[in-house]
Amino acid sequence: MVEIKAGKILSAEKVPDTDKLLKLSVDFAEKDEQGNARPRQIVSGISAYFPDPGAIVGKTCMFVTNLEHRVIRGLESQGMILAVKTDIGFSLLEPNDSIEPGSTAS
């Protein structure tokens, strides 16, 4: 079963020496053993759509969070952002403003 959660993008930066990759830090309202916030790192090939990565910081988007972690260009990716691309545009899947980070789709 695919686990889909809302996550708030805390930071976004281009991965050096790549044209497509952004490294995101995403809040899913997860905590470590000491109760500290534990954001996840997501590496995504969406850089072409966001020449200014800062434009997506603060957005809450939908992510697949139960994929096996992968290493992409030496960076561990702990999930996948959901987006739609068609001939007429590109859009991240964003829930309405009342959805909190960590909320799951059912």
Does 94 have pLDDT greater than 80?
yes
C-alpha span between 54 and 57 (Å, rounded): 5
Mean predicted confidence (pLDDT) in 4-9: 97
The token duo for 82 is 């959901």
Task: Quick: pLDDT tens for 19-60.
Answer: 999 999 999 999 989 999 899 999 999 999 999 999 999 999
| Residue linked to tokens 């930066």 | 13
How many Cα atoms are found within 13 Å in the side-chain-facing hemisphere of 15?
23
In the chain the domains, ranked by start, together with CATH numbers, are 4-92 (2.40.50.140)
The pLDDT mean for the chain works out to 95
- In whole angstroms, what separates CA 71 from the centre of its chain? 15
Q: What is the pLDDT of residue 2?
A: 93
